[in-house]
């Protein structure tokens, strides 16, 4: 089977950086899943002895803590530091930025609005930097429940959809005197999406590699299905099924931002061997 | 003829304030036309000896200068003050606000964008507060000629249309990292417009009173014509023509933000006498 990779796929800058930091901190403990890929977390534990602490209670005084790519709440970071625990920050710089913006805007008296999912660790970390409670909304409908004050500042979860972000910004502009719009959406996710869309239109079958619970992987899968009905989502090469490839000539591959290259390479080789 | 006045019409807060200041400064000189209404300027000259200096060269050292509602450029204000000339500021507070915003944003490194007409005295005054040249645009097409930087701040001429302002804001949001949107459009103009629209639908004939060169009066006239084909624009009661009122039962009246009440009252009495 002939295989074609998307122009842009897999690990983003923040994920690569976090993994490098974890590898450099053998025997450390990540607070929360470093990235949203169980197989990579397993590899870091097996090859580098980096264990996963699910909450701050699982951190021991002699632990060397690695802060996950999505960041952690401000009070947890302060708590770790006050205990003299060694902390290495693997928060993606694209997440550190909205954290800082939220902190500053809140200090300056702006009502902070975050476009995102309140259950996502990134949003939990970003919203924790607001002095006064930030509003986390996923749609204009949710925003309509609030009375918009004169001064508002908007940031976005890094992996959200641009068009929805602009709709929310538009609503805030219409209802405030000053709307401060920070486009904190990360480019990497969108480059992967654009490349997937392009490739899906050129091939007979499309394979999306990524964590089944990864939100950005799911988005890639949805995009691929729209442009190539024969699209399949797998975690690794074991998920491949021969019958998918009958009568197909060319197969496209893309992968989520937290899918390690070694998994993608195994998938690629397996398909080429068909 | 039965007459009905618009719910909101004529003098806005800033114009009323400026006229009061001029009346309290008998024998003063306004730098530029205090408001856009020649008849009111004539009245202030005749009744209060307030003369019009068309430019800073026409100001004498012993003049008491009244700054017009639209404001004047920053360097002219500084020049007057450096000459120890007495200056009374009748700039509308809704214009002082964008002046201050433009000064601060420019200081903080934002590219300032002004939605407005570069030939209008208000825009000339507001843009003069920018450290680096502000971009003055009337449409998205004009904005497309610029390369939008990371940080931009948008203000509007106080009398511009809201929807066009939001379109420009939207464009800036799409092309910058941080867009700071200040909605400096004045409510008074829109209240007059909304009321004119409402009344024009209820009456047989609509009379718009205002300076023939006044931009906000022209806008009122256009709105009225849209909802009442028998709409007429006049400067004062002398502009009325009897034939307009044949077969009409009820006449609506509105007036621009710089039209004095004494002119409107004369128009009203003249129509009631028909």
pLDDT at position A219 is 82
CATH class of A94-181: alpha beta
In CATH, the number for domain B2-9+187-272 is 3.40.1010.20
> Which of the two residues, A228 and B36, has the higher pLDDT score?
A228
Is the model's pLDDT at B127 over the cut of 80? yes
The chain-wide mean pLDDT, for chain B, equals 94
Is the model's pLDDT at A83 over the cut of 80? yes
d(CA B153, CA A257): 33
Residue B266 confidence class, pLDDT cut points 50, 70, 90: very high
A8 to each of A43, A185, B42, B193, how far by Cα in Å? 24, 17, 70, 52
B26: three-class secondary structure by DSSP: coil
- A187 — contact with chain B (CB < 8 Å)? no
The stretch B30-35 carries a mean pLDDT of: 93
Does B166 contact A180 at a Cβ distance shorter than 8 Å?
no
With beta carbons less than 8 A apart as the criterion, state whether A195 and A240 touch: no
**To 5 degrees, how large is the angle CA A257–CA A96–CA A40?**
30
**Interface mutation target, options A180, A181, A186, A187, chain B, most CBs of B under 10 Å:** A181
pLDDT at position A126 is 98
| N-terminal to C-terminal alpha carbon distance within chain A | 6
pLDDT at position B27 is 94
- A176 — contact with chain B (CB < 8 Å)? yes
The stretch B192-219 carries a mean pLDDT of: 90
The stretch B87-111 carries a mean pLDDT of: 97
Name the residue in chain A with its Cα closest to that of B151: A182
Name the residue among A188, A33, A56 with its Cα closest to residue A121: A33
What b/e sequence results for B116-154 when a residue is b if at least 16 CB atoms lie within 10 Å of its CB, and e otherwise? bbeebbbbbbbbbbbeeebbbbbeeeebeeeebeeebbb
Does A178 contact B180 at a Cβ distance shorter than 8 Å?
yes
Paired with B252 in beta bridges are B4, B206
B113: three-class secondary structure by DSSP: strand
Please tell me the distance in Å from B41's CA to the nearest CA on chain A: 33
Residue B163 confidence class, pLDDT cut points 50, 70, 90: confident
Residue A248 confidence class, pLDDT cut points 50, 70, 90: very high
Does A178 contact B183 at a Cβ distance shorter than 8 Å?
yes
Does A173 contact B166 at a Cβ distance shorter than 8 Å?
yes
Is the model's pLDDT at B81 over the cut of 90? no
Please name the residues between 133 and 172 in chain B that touch chain A, using a CB distance below 8 Å: 166, 169-170
Rounded to the nearest 10 degrees, the angle between the axes of helix A13-24 and helix A38-48 is 20
Q: Which of B174, B176, B181 has its CB closest to that of A179?
A: B181
In chain A, domain spans: 2-9+187-272, 13-92, 94-181
- A174 — contact with chain B (CB < 8 Å)? yes
- A85 — contact with chain B (CB < 8 Å)? no
Does A183 contact B180 at a Cβ distance shorter than 8 Å?
no
B220-262 tens-digit pLDDT: 999 999 999 999 999 999 999 999 999 999 999 999 998 999 9
Query: ipTM higher than 0.90?
Result: no
A15 to each of A40, A257, B63, how far by Cα in Å? 11, 7, 69
Element spanning B262, H or E: helix B261-272
Does B173 contact A180 at a Cβ distance shorter than 8 Å?
no
The stretch B191-200 carries a mean pLDDT of: 93
Residue B12 marked as a ligand binder: yes
Q: Which of A166, A176, A182 has its CB closest to that of B174?
A: A166
Please tell me the distance in Å from A54's CA to the nearest CA on chain B: 34
Q: Which of A174, A180, A181 has its CB closest to that of B166?
A: A174
Does A179 contact B177 at a Cβ distance shorter than 8 Å?
no
d(CA A90, CA A67): 5
Asked whether this chain's domains B2-9+187-272 and B94-181 adopt the same fold, the reply is yes
Residue B158 marked as a ligand binder: yes
Please name the residues between 190 and 219 in chain A that touch chain B, using a CB distance below 8 Å: none
pLDDT at position A209 is 96
| Cβ burial, residue A82 (10 Å; 0-12/13-18/19+) | exposed
The stretch B58-73 carries a mean pLDDT of: 92
With beta carbons less than 8 A apart as the criterion, state whether B172 and B200 touch: no
The stretch A186-207 carries a mean pLDDT of: 92
Residue B192 marked as a ligand binder: no
Chain B residues within 8 A of A180 when measuring between CB atoms:
178-181
Contacts of residue A90, Cβ cutoff 8 Å, sequence gap at least 6: A17, A18, A21, A22, A30, A34, A66, A67, A68, A69
Q: Up-side HSE of residue A5: CA atoms within 13 Å toward CB?
A: 14
Chain A residues within 8 A of B176 when measuring between CB atoms:
183
Does A173 contact B181 at a Cβ distance shorter than 8 Å?
yes
Cα B111 versus chain centre, distance? 25
The stretch B159-185 carries a mean pLDDT of: 93
- B2 backbone dihedrals φ, ψ, rounded to 5°: -80, 135
Please tell me the distance in Å from A112's CA to the nearest CA on chain B: 14
Name the residue among B53, B49, B20, B18 with its Cα closest to residue B35: B18
Residue A81 confidence class, pLDDT cut points 50, 70, 90: confident
With beta carbons less than 8 A apart as the criterion, state whether A9 and A196 touch: yes
CATH class of A13-92: alpha beta
Tokens 């690794």 -> residue: A236
Chain B residues within 8 A of A97 when measuring between CB atoms:
none
Give the architecture-level CATH label for domain B13-91.
Answer: 3-Layer(aba) Sandwich (3.40)
Of A99-113, A152-166, B41-55, the poorest mean pLDDT is in A152-166
Is the model's pLDDT at A93 over the cut of 90? yes
With beta carbons less than 8 A apart as the criterion, state whether B141 and B88 touch: no
Please tell me the distance in Å from A229's CA to the nearest CA on chain B: 32
Chain B residues within 8 A of A174 when measuring between CB atoms:
166
Paired with A51 in beta bridges are A29
What b/e sequence results for A209-234 when a residue is b if at least 16 CB atoms lie within 10 Å of its CB, and e otherwise? bbbeebbbbbbbbebbbebbebbbbb
Of A51-55, A115-119, A161-165, B205-209, the poorest mean pLDDT is in A161-165
Please tell me the distance in Å from A180's CA to the nearest CA on chain B: 4
With beta carbons less than 8 A apart as the criterion, state whether B267 and B236 touch: yes
Is the model's pLDDT at B53 over the cut of 80? yes
| β-strand pairing of A205-209 with B205-209 | unpaired
Per-residue 3-state assignment (H helix, E strand, C coil) for chain A? CEEEECCCCCCCHHHHHHHHHHHHCCCCEEECCCCCCHHHHHHHHHHHCCEEECCHHHCCCCCEEEECCCCCCHHHHHHHHHCCCEEEECCCHHHHHHHHHHHHHHHCCCEEEEECCCCCHHHHHHHCCCCCCCEEECCHHHHCCCCCCCEEEEEECCCCCHHHHHHHHHHHHHHCCEEEEECCCCHHHHHHHHHHHHHHCCCCEEEEECCCCCHHHHHHHHHHHHHCCCEEEECCHHHCCHHHHCCCCEEEEEECCCCCHHHHHHHHHHHHCC
A249 to each of A1, A204, A232, A253, A268, how far by Cα in Å? 6, 7, 16, 14, 15
Is the model's pLDDT at A118 over the cut of 90? yes
Structure tokens belonging to residue A29: 């403990």
% of chain A surpassing 70 pLDDT: 100
Chain B residues within 8 A of A168 when measuring between CB atoms:
none
Name the residue among B47, B53, B46, B57 with its Cα closest to residue B67: B53
Residue B174 marked as a ligand binder: no
Q: Using alpha carbons only, how large is chain A's radius of gyration in Å?
A: 20
């Amino acid at each position: 089977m002939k295989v074609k990779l998307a122009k842009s796929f897999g690990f983003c800058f923040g994920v690569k950086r976090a993994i490098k930091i974890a590898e450099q901190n053998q025997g450390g403990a990540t607070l929360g899943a470093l990235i949203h890929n169980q197989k990579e977390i397993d590899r870091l534990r097996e090859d580098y002895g980096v264990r996963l602490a699910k909450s701050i209670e699982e951190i021991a005084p002699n632990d060397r803590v690695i802060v996950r790519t999505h960041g952690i709440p401000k009070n947890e970071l302060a708590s770790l530091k006050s205990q003299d625990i060694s902390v290495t920050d693997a928060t993606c710089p694209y997440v550190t930025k909205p954290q800082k913006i939220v902190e500053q805007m809140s200090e300056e008296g702006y009502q902070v609005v975050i476009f995102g999912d309140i259950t996502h660790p990134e949003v939990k970390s970003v919203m924790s930097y607001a002095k006064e409670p930030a509003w986390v909304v996923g749609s204009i409908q949710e925003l309509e429940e609030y009375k918009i004050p004169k001064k508002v500042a908007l940031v976005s979860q890094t992996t959200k959809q641009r068009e929805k972000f602009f709709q929310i910004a538009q609503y805030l502009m219409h209802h405030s005197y000053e709307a401060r719009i920070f486009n904190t959406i990360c480019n990497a996710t969108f480059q992967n999406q654009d490349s997937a869309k392009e490739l899906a239109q050129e091939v007979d079958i499309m394979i999306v590699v990524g964590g089944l619970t990864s939100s950005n992987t799911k988005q890639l899968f949805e995009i691929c299905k729209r442009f190539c009905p024969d699209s399949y989502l797998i975690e690794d090469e074991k998920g491949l099924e021969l019958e998918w490839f009958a009568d197909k000539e060319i197969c496209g591959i893309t992968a989520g931002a937290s899918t390690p290259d070694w998994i993608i390479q195994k998938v690629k080789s397996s398909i080429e061997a068909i």
